[in-house]
Structure 1
Amino acid sequence: MAPGSTPAPVLRATDIHKSFGSRRPVLRGADLTVAPGQLVAVVGENGAGKSTLLKILAGTLPADRGEVTLPGTLGYCPQEPVLNGALTVEQHLRYFAAARRLPDTDRGLELVRLLGYERYTQSPAGDLSGGTRQKLNLTIALLHDPDVLLLDEPYQGFDWETYLRFWDLVEDLRARGKAVVIITHLVFEQERFDLLADLADGRLTPRTPSQEDRHVGV
């Protein structure tokens, strides 16, 4: 890349529209551009369409109109963990590593250690607490070290220590040029982000966190 040039986006969504049946449109021309190493928050009230937008970005829900461009690899962590209750943590790692054609589960075990739930590797997912299930959900999303990570309220059920470990993990991803998009509605987190994208009336309005936002932190 030439000196002074702008890196190509790792995620771009253009003119995204989505309605459900005869209901009022949920998304009405939402646009979002994410650069390498950028941490973006999609902020909005309940029912604003945040999870709908993230599903469209992840490719699990088709848009009625618009385009999503994602030149690299994607990791997606939905709000509700999609796990097999009969499989252990270790079995989940082996299964998803095979699905991603990874040579081993080393990255998964590293993430298990980073998130502090090593003692549960032989436990079935159905026996885990909600917070530990969410840790496994996040581990699976990161297993293949994706270029873009989409997270829907990823820290629900986390204790304080895990919450801090989560942000340490996010900072490591950013330092390595990975982009992270997080759905959130918590104002006190805004100082952590490079870009806030307010979702209202079906459209996104990007803004840079103000100095006031950056001083209202944990």
Structure 2
Amino acid sequence: MLTAVGLEKSYHRGPWPLRRSVRVLLGAELTLYPGEVVGLVGENGSGKSTLMKILVGALTADGGSVTRPGQIGYCPQEPLVYPRLTCDEHFEIFGRAYRMPHVAAHRNRQDLYQSLGFARYAGTRADRLSGGTLSKLNLGLALLADPGVLLLDEPYAGFDWDTYLKFWELVEQRRAVGKSVLIISHFVVDEHRFDRIVDLRDGRTWPR
């Protein structure tokens, strides 16, 4: 479904002339297969979010290659929303960006409201949502087009227990129909829910 080979990435930090290059990824590799859920773990600063941004195409690698399917759903760690727009308006914009037929976009939106339990906030502006509801919107936008590969960076931050369980129900549904999910987490508490766990350390990926 998705393959990354030999990914390298460095950042330049500090003011000139003291600027230095910090190597974050040193040949990281990852393959996602149909119908599997993979956890990506590592210490803070290990490069997990950098790796995911490269996988989704939001960041360019210094070296290596990524082979992607036609469509990827991406849930960043920090929600990328427009403060003055309502949840409905966000879904409308993303549906158009995905070039979804209006009927399909509306149906999927309603299903996500129901599945994640935030239909009552459909007309609420993003800047008036609680942290947990904002996380639901963030996840819902990634799921809207029903992509074959879903990349999630700390997706359940702020979820209550009931929403956390609903999240895993959605993940199981995707696994059952052959879709792939990659989830970043600082630590894995429900390891049995994953098919594989991959550690990112010293700039490389290692199977656990």
Q: Is this a same-fold pair by TM over 0.5?
A: yes
1:11 aligns with 2:2: yes
2: distance between equivalents of 1:189 and 1:58?
Answer: 25
Q: How many residues align?
A: 198
Amino acid at match of 1:52: T
**Shift in Å, 1:23:** 3.3
CA contact (8 A) 1:19 1:26 kept: yes
Secondary structure of the 2:66 match is strand
Note the alpha carbon deviations across 1:115-137, whole angstroms, 9 max, x for none: 00011001111100011011001
Match of 1:177 in 2: 178
The AA in structure 1 aligned to 2:192 is: E
Residue in structure 2 matched with residue 100 of structure 1 by the alignment: 98
Question: Given that residues 69 and 149 in structure 2 are in contact (C-alpha distance below 8 angstroms), is that contact kept between their aligned partners in structure 1?
Answer: no
Per the TM alignment, residue 187 of structure 1 is displaced from its structure 2 partner at its CA by 3.1
What residue number does 1:41 align with?
39
| Residue 189 of structure 2: aligned partner | 188
Identity fraction in percent: 55
SS in structure 2 at match of 1:204? strand
Greater RCO, CA 8 A, separation 6+:
2
Aligned partner of residue 122 in structure 1, secondary structure: coil
Aligned to 2:25: 27
Structure 1 residues 102-111 or 61-70, which shifts more? 102-111
Residue 131 of structure 2 corresponds to residue 130 of structure 1: yes
Q: Write out per-residue CA displacement over residues 36-66 of structure 1, whole angstroms, 9 at most, x where no aligned residue.
A: 1110011101110000000000100000000
**1:185 CA displacement:** 1.8
Q: State the shift of 1:101 in Å.
A: 1.4
Partner of 1:212: none
Q: Over the residues paired in the alignment, what is the CA RMSD in angstroms?
A: 0.9
CA distance in 2, matches of 1:25, 1:19: 4
Q: Is the 8 A contact 1:15 1:65 kept in 2?
A: yes
Structure 1: distance between partners of 2:193 and 2:201: 21
Match of residue 62 from structure 2 = 64
Displacement after TM superposition at 1:98 (Å): 1.4
SS in 1 for 2:189: helix
Determine if contact 2:29/2:205 at 8 Å carries over to the other structure: yes
**Which position in structure 1 is the counterpart of 2:73?**
75
1:72 touches 1:148 (CA, 8 Å); kept in 2?
no
- Partner of 2:11: helix, strand, or coil? coil
Query: Any idea what the Cα deviations from partners look like across 1:13-33, whole Å, max 9, x if unmatched?
Result: 000000001233100000101
Q: Which runs of 5+ in 1 are unaligned?
A: 1-9, 208-218
Structure-2 residue corresponding to 1:146: 147
TM-score, normalised relative to structure 2 = 0.93
Q: Which amino acid aligns with 2:186?
A: H
